[in-house]
């Protein structure tokens, strides 16, 4: 930590570790800067950047030891369509000309990493009102993804490789109000987008292996929410009762259509649920316990309260009949 002046400071650092699988020497540098142009400290500029390197999960280093999948197709009458297809587990690393198979998954010599940077502007407009605007961008590289590849009518490969990637960026503005009694009200709007490979190793196998593994695709991720507004506050009512409301309004999450063979129909995650709205709140009161209680409980305080989720009973669907062959499709 370097205090350059009484209004500017820089933080530098890095993380280092070694591992038996993946990069034997892993460096992850970090940088942070903060600057206040005025002596009153009401305006603050911040910026930071860092590389965050992951460890290769054991699930990847022994992927070729997983049980092999055998896929058998049937018609509507239950008759077998063709011969079963066996998927052999293999691993590959990304090179300039494509993918290169490795003899053993423990030979993987790459480590996924993430590059994130952000800038932030804070302004104390009055004694009670503050404003913030910030931008953040995050990119993930060399992520492990799964892709089923058919090599013959009866054989195939369940290929694990480090060709995966993900991108996320957000722009946020926030206004905060706080009075002398401790009441506060905050409103935040976030504009963001996130794309990536849908068949990341953690998504397909954690916590349980997906029953259906479709070909990988680079598309909007399941958590992509372009627009989101949240307002929350804390209000001190008479009799020392505290009221804490939250309003959450955001774009609906994406979802994919599939057909009777469980394959994607159209672009994955190109459909969206309706906009999500929820009004939640909690009400609580802190009560001191009597001093004569045993076991040292006297003098302690308990917070008693009640909370409500979706108090307006808004329709916020998070599941859909996504099979186009279903009579309930959509």
208: left (phi over 0), alpha (psi -120 to 50) or beta: beta
pLDDT in tens, 86-99: 999 999 999 888 89
Phi and psi at residue 231, to the nearest 5°:
-125, 135
> What's the CA gap between 229 and 187, in Å, rounded?
7
Phi and psi at residue 57, to the nearest 5°:
-70, 150
What the block records as the tokens of 301 is 């305080």
Beta-bridge partner residues of 91: 160
Instruction: Walk along the chain (330 residues) and give the pLDDT tens digit of each residue.
Output: 999 999 999 999 999 988 888 788 889 999 999 999 988 899 999 999 999 988 888 899 999 999 999 999 898 899 999 899 999 999 999 988 889 999 999 888 888 999 999 999 999 999 999 999 999 999 999 999 999 999 888 889 999 999 999 999 999 999 999 999 999 999 999 999 999 999 999 999 988 999 999 999 999 999 999 999 999 999 999 999 999 999 999 999 999 999 988 999 999 999 999 999 999 999 999 988 777 777 767 678 888 999 999 999 999 999 999 999 999 999
């Amino acid at each position: 930590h370097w205090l350059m002046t009484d209004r500017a400071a820089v933080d530098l650092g890095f993380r280092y570790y070694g591992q038996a699988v993946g990069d034997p020497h892993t460096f992850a540098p970090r940088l942070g800067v903060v600057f206040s142009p005025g002596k009153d400290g009401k305006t603050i500029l911040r910026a930071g950047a860092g590389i965050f390197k992951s460890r290769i999960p054991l699930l990847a280093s022994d992927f070729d030891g997983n049980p092999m999948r055998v896929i058998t197709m049937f018609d509507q009458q239950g008759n077998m369509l063709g011969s079963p297809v066996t998927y052999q587990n293999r691993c590959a690393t990304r090179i300039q000309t494509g993918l290169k198979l490795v003899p053993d998954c423990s030979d993987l010599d790459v480590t996924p990493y993430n590059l994130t940077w952000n800038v932030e502007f804070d302004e104390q407009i009055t004694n009670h009102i503050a404003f913030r605007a910030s931008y953040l961008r995050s990119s993930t590289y060399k992520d492990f993804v799964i892709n089923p590849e058919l090599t013959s009518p009866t054989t195939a490969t369940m290929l694990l490789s480090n060709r995966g990637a993900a991108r996320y960026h957000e722009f946020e503005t926030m206004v905060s109000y706080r009075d002398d009694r401790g009441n506060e009200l905050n409103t935040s709007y976030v504009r963001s987008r996130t794309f990536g490979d849908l068949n990341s190793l953690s998504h397909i196998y954690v916590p349980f292996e997906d029953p259906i593994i479709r070909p990988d695709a680079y598309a909007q991720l399941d958590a992509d929410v372009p627009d989101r507004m949240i307002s929350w506050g804390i209000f001190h009512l008479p009799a020392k009762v505290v009221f804490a409301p939250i309003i959450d309004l955001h774009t609906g999450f994406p979802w994919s259509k599939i057909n009777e063979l469980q394959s994607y129909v159209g672009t994955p995650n190109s459909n969206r649920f309706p906009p999500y709205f929820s009004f939640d709140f909690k009400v609580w009161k802190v009560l001191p316990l009597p001093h004569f209680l045993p076991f040292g409980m006297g003098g302690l305080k308990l917070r008693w309260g009640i909370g409500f989720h979706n108090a307006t009973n808004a329709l916020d669907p998070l599941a859909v009949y996504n099979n186009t062959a279903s009579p309930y499709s959509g």
